[in-house]
Structure 1
Amino acid sequence: MIRRGFLTRDGFVFRIGAVVTVVLLATGIALFYKGSIGTVLRPGETVHAEFARDYWLRPNVTKVKIAGVPIGVVTGVEPVQQDKIRAALKIDPGIREKLGKAPSAAIRPTTLFGGNYYVELLPGGDEGTASSDTIPLSRTTVPVELDRVLEEFPPSTRASTQRAIRDLDETFGRKGVEAARDLVDAAPDTLAPTGRLLQAVRGTRPEVDLAKVVSGLESTARQLTRRDDQLDNILQSLRDTTSVLATERRPLANTISTAPGTLKETRSTMGALDKTLVRLEKTSKAARPTARNLAGLLKRTDPVLRNARPLVRDVRSLLQDVRPAVERLVPTVRTATGVLDDVRGPVLDRVNGPIMRTVLSPYRGTGPYEGTGADRPFYQELAYMISGFGNASKLTDRNGAAVAIEPGISLGSVGGTPLNLERLLGNVGSGQGGADGN
């Protein structure tokens, strides 16, 4: 039993050791392929970029960044041609839409002296997603090593650079340290305003406004640099404009000084114009039916105007002939104005007063003529008299018209006698008796 238990315990220990060994081996393998496993499990989408050279791009290790923020990793590098390689970049979801339609890429060192590198993506072009998932070689750059830059300088330039660095070291070693200390002492006072400035630059929507500003500046720069001489022409025009403004600075200053008053007057004028426009709008609504009918009126008027053209042409010469007569009428009109001024007043008051009342009132006899008259107005009786006088003057001869006079004898021709037949007949008609009228 003891022998069997011992063997059983050894078997258990062996199994435990095998399990631990397998776990350690799997852990080592997982740690060795940690980058690959993390890349496979990482969500996102893949874009490609073409570079002139491979600057130590390591799959599953080299980071992909935007503005210094990691957003992906390089998943593969493959040569395409002798002077071109193609790198696969796995980026986080939603990043591709923010790159624009013409993004660019650059391999940058993490330090000044190289060593580790990362791929930086730069948004570009209009908003939206690029039609291709590959950034071409024309929009990618590779870093230039500092030693290669220095190799391009001639020996004299490199010696001058060494002296400049030595002088810079001496500057910082003397008064430069004090200046740097003063800068550090003054920096806290400027950090708060700088923070407010940067906060204002971010806009009211930090996640959108600043990106739009940068995109707009990039579009502006792309338009300015589309032609080589376009920016130069703009600067030349700006110089000419500045020169003209400098020459005419006094009138410009006067204009600016009077601008507040002008704006005030403009504001009041615009207020009055606003009221006028409101009234005009109401008037225009009422005038719409008239405007609709105006087309037909103009269509009918056109033949009339065409026929009236010869008349207008003749009237022009007539007006030229009438003009001297009108000019001569001016003194006459002035004299007539004086005459009318004299007539106005007592004369018109007399005409409008007693004369008009007499002419318009009926005639009633008074005194010896009492009992005579009629209901007709005086002017009618006067007209009848004139008409009767006209009838009486119808007798004409070779010398002209003459008034006809016909003598005769009537019952009352003999006056002063009590036997007056006219009175007798009158008394009889009125119902009174006696020849004497009693």
Structure 2
Amino acid sequence: MTAPPPPASTVPAPPPVVRGGRSFVRTAALAALVAAVAAIAIVALGGGGGYRVTATFENAGQLVVGNQVWAGGRPVGEITDIGLTDDGRARVEMRIDDDSILPLRRGTRARIRAASLSGIANRYVELTLGPGTAPTLPDGAAIPPDRTQAPVDLDQVLNALDERTRQGLRALIRGSGAWYAGRAREADAATRYFAPALQATTRLTAELVRDSQTFERFLRDASRAVGAIAERRDELSQLVANANATATAIASRNRDLDAALAELPGTLRQANSTFVDLRSTLDDLDVLVAASKPATRRLAPFFQELLPLVVDARPAIADLSALVSSPGADNDLIDLVARSPRLADLTDVVFPRTIRTLNRSLEVVDYARLYTPDLAAWFTKFGAVAANYDANGHYARVQPIFSRFRLNGNQLELRPRTDNLLDAFQPGRYRRCPGASVQRPPDGSAPLSAPGCDPSAVPPGP
């Protein structure tokens, strides 16, 4: 019998075959070292795979390594590195793993967006792909700064404001909160009229633009009116200051009015004798009262509704007392009457010029007043034009409709195929009169005749 072979661990390895001497051994060892270093570098740097592209932004916008890269509404890669350029801009390196959008093409845009407002480092880069016919961008290409967009944070906007502006904005926000406190239902009801108002404004603006000459003349006249007022700004400022001083003086004399009201009962008692003498006169008035009874029957419900008003008017009467007479100088209505000659001298200069300015603008105001319904209609329709939006922002959708039907008297019939479906369109209608944007009503109340418009420019139809 032959002995079994020894275990594998005890079998001696065959001696290496050395060819070429010591130089061959050194070369093999050096090659193995280079291969090991390359393998370690590949593993440490995230190793092979993935299409890489860089983009230069004005700032990194709170991006961090590992944030996602999106394109077409889905994630396609991630941020691998963020650095600075020589001019202080942010250099962002991205790895694209989705082969369906590769390779990127020239014209691709990059934009830093925020996933929500509830976090800090929740940003991502959105790619807007370039046209499919554009040249391709090779692996490692760069998107130039003119095709990138960094976000603008709210704190950047607030930091751009000075201290006085920030205090005013803070007061506005607090005042708005106090204004709408407890009025949520009223605010909701008012908001429902916002979109119709914008739609009406759209139509009004279109009408104003159509008659550009009249609109330009209106702007020139308004500019002249404002200029005339600005020339007298000193007198106007003095008038406002005097009115302020008068109102302050009136408010400080409420005690005098209160004292007068306190003396009223004694005055009435002293007038008792006079009222006794009025009895004979009242007897003569019985005939008038008897004749007035049918008409006064409706006064009872009126006085019932008037009673709450009288009760609520008591504070106003107390304020009126201070308005008429208050202790001190230049603080009540009596002092105002005493100073009226100075006010009259001022009004002799300011008011006539104001009246002349208003008279000159009456023609423009009368013309613009005719288009008030069109202005309201434009406000109601303006908001619906671009209400829809997608990933690229708001957009307007326009669809022409060519009707295959026509109205023959009171019957709706199908148009013959030989009819021109474009007959309903009216090119060249730029001078519609007020109210001519819809069909003429049966009562003939529209359109209104105005200078410079065409009454025949109305939509087709009965």
Fold-level similarity (TM above 0.5): no
TM-score relative to the length of structure 2: 0.30
TM-score relative to the length of structure 1: 0.31
Between Structure 1 and Structure 2, the one with more helix by share is 1
